[in-house]
A and B are shown apart, each in its own frame.
Chain A
């Protein structure tokens, strides 16, 4: 008897060429090699080129004197004695200023327009639709040019300023507001105001807890009004009206006194706000439409009117859909504020990537810092919005 030799089948012993694991390693190594080579050649080219152009590298320029001035500055800065590093902070603060105000304003406008588009009022909803369609289909840069060159620049010169209520003046150098000066005892008003805000926040938290525990509602709105507006006003009267205003007035060819808001700032803020609001409006509309109609009907069946239904039932649920795209709109607004360079608002890009780069020629460092700043802003904003999103998200099982 002879045994038939059984052929042993060896699975998976195919050629190494067809092993997906090996292939994966090879692909990745190849990609790494390509990227590494690109980076290396870019760096070595940059070094030779910079040397050929005799441009210094490194961050030594940070402490060199900057020979230029900036019109709008939140921190002290002057052509004589300030450094490029300080110019960076001036630009950064201006960017943050216009972005934060723009975010607040565009949120309000966007919510209003988004809700208006769903209004049962025909004229209102059509107007909202036209607003959204027009704003979203035009480049932001064109809108900025429009606000700056076509609306604000043709305003009359300071001598023929347009007089606004409360002593404010408007001309082609900007908007001049009365500057409040605190007399003796005036700081008391500011303190009352701040205390009022804190007290309102505490009271609101307390009222919410009470409502959750007992179901009893407190008039939070009225009490907030009393604490924040009426009480400081009362103090104002009691202390003998210690606030006086310095009104802007014509002096020679210019205006003196008052707080000057530059037209570049106004134009950028107007452009960013209206543009982003158009996008936020659509986000809000989509969010509200995502709330099922049964929710509105249920609220109506409980006897809630249109206003409370929207505020207490629809919007809170819509927020879950709204927050993620709202975040990207906030980020877009912040990034779009870099268009300031086109109309001369001294933001980070205009001051740093524009003027400082031109003066020092250190493109690599300046652009890298600018990009790092925007990346940081992006990451921080998404981080906070993600926390907020987690708090608002629907918790299931």
Chain B
């Protein structure tokens, strides 16, 4: 018997050295294979590809030519954008956008007062970054800033006039009183026993007095700073009243969106809790409100706010023309928000409720400390979706005569200064870019939040 190994078998041919590696054949890897697999894998697919390619080839170069190559970038009136005046084919008339840009942002807000809008924009940007940037410090203070300081500050700054300034002074007084109260309490902890719970006090007492004051009372300090700055502005430069009829453009669009967000979130939480409440009357009223508002179009809600709200309140308190759609939009968004939040509440495992109850927490403590933080975090994508819808829906206030961004565009289109054959296409393209960037940005943010939260759940 012989060992039939490779070494001694007479006919075996075994290559001893390693061959250099060859590249994969073109039909398996590389661009050709990719094209074959993804574009021409069969007759139907090939036809579809050619059809799509035809669509792209016919539309894209045409659009590039219209919006970039043939576009007019500078000029002062319609003559710059007329083909027979400048002797070449004219595409988009960007000069018109440049000329009207200020109007698109501020509407008819008086030019010398526009710095006030700018400050509100800056505050808004600060609040948004504070809340959305994951690693920003002092998130709770940020919440307070966005949901309390910003609305009040914007109201005083944008409207101005004696009423708003009186309101501002009253607020500063209130803040000062609160500050004195806190000051006394933090230096004489014994007094605070009635104010805050004993357990909390034990932690507090370990700290030196100034820390005790500083730690939980940042909010008061922040309000004092913000209101103080606004008051200084009002005293030095003056805040004459600017009627809401003059507001317009992106300012109003952002204003409606922000008011909708600021009011719909807490209102939605309350409605969602009401809908899941065990008390039948509270539940019934919540269900009726939610289903009623969700069953009708926003336009009818706006019409109702516009024509019926003034009827329902006494003549002397008749709401401002801009306030009416704000109420309508906020209520409308709240109903949708309530359903999103209800989803989050339903997703909470029962153990969370039971755990909270076993700690002896009452209903509101349980909701505030255990359930809502988790539930809201789950439905952040849904909340952002509602915001996107709300932002798009702000355009509907156009129909009840509010000068939002879209309306300012429409208004400039009928203005003879810039009436050219291509003005309309340019204006709509500009509006589309604005809305697309805002909505797309929000949806990207919600996707990134979703991914970040999924990272913790990954196994």
A residues apposed to B, CB below 8 Å: 24, 27-28, 31-32, 35, 42, 45-46, 48-50, 52, 119-124, 127, 133-134, 136-142, 145-146, 149-150, 154, 331, 335-336, 338-339, 341-342, 349, 353, 357, 363-364, 367, 370-371, 374-375, 378-379
Contacts and interface: CB of A to CB of B under 8 A. Distances in A.
Nearest to A49: B311
15 contacts: A24-B279, A46-B312, A121-B49, A123-B48, A139-B406, A139-B435, A141-B398, A145-B410, A149-B424, A335-B297, A339-B396, A353-B299, A367-B303, A367-B308, A375-B292
B307 A357 contact: yes
B446 to A, nearest CB: 12
Q: Is the interface of A mostly helix, strand, loop or mixed?
A: helix
Nearest to B308: A363
Interface stretch (B38-46, B106-114, B198-206, B372-380): B38-46
A49 B315 contact: yes
B288 to A, nearest CB: 10
A325 to B, nearest CB: 12
A124 B44 CA distance: 12
A50 B310 CA distance: 10
A107 B141 CA distance: 47
A364 to B, nearest CB: 6
A303 B154 CA distance: 66
A138 B41 CA distance: 35
Interface in B133-191: none
Minimum-distance CB pairs A-B, first 10: A363-B307, A335-B297, A137-B439, A42-B312, A139-B392, A378-B295, A122-B38, A338-B297, A28-B281, A141-B395
B304 A134 contact: no
A46 B413 CA distance: 39
Contact of B308 (A119, A341, A364): A364
A122 B39 contact: yes
B285 interface: yes
Contact of A375 (B49, B296, B431, B436): B296
A145 B435 CA distance: 14
B443 interface: yes
B300 interface: yes
B299 A339 contact: yes
A52 B316 CA distance: 13
Interface string B43-65: 00100110011011000000000
Nearest to A307: B44
Contacts of B52: 121, 123-124, 127
Q: Is the interface of B mostly helix, strand, loop or mixed?
A: helix
A304 B433 CA distance: 45
Contact of A123 (B53, B279, B439): B53
A316 B422 CA distance: 48
Interface in B374-403: 388, 392-396, 398-399
Nearest to B289: A35
Given A375-B295, A375-B296, A342 B398 contact: yes
A23 to B, nearest CB: 9
A298 B38 CA distance: 23
Interface string B305-342: 00110111111000000000000000000000000000
With a 10 A CB-CB cut-off, give which of B297, B304, B424, B425 has the most chain A CB atoms.
B297
A137 B45 contact: no
Interface string B93-104: 000000000000
A127 B303 CA distance: 38
A120 B312 contact: no
B246 interface: no
B282 interface: yes
B232 interface: no
A146 B279 CA distance: 49
Contact of A335 (B296, B431, B439): B296
A145 B285 CA distance: 38
Contacts of A137: 388, 435-436, 439-440, 443
A150 B431 CA distance: 13
Given A141-B395, A338-B299, 10 more contacts: A24-B279, A28-B280, A46-B308, A49-B315, A123-B48, A124-B49, A134-B436, A140-B392, A331-B295, A339-B396
B440 A133 contact: yes
Given A139-B395, A142-B428, A349-B299, A367 B307 contact: yes
B432 interface: yes
Contacts of B424: 149-150, 154
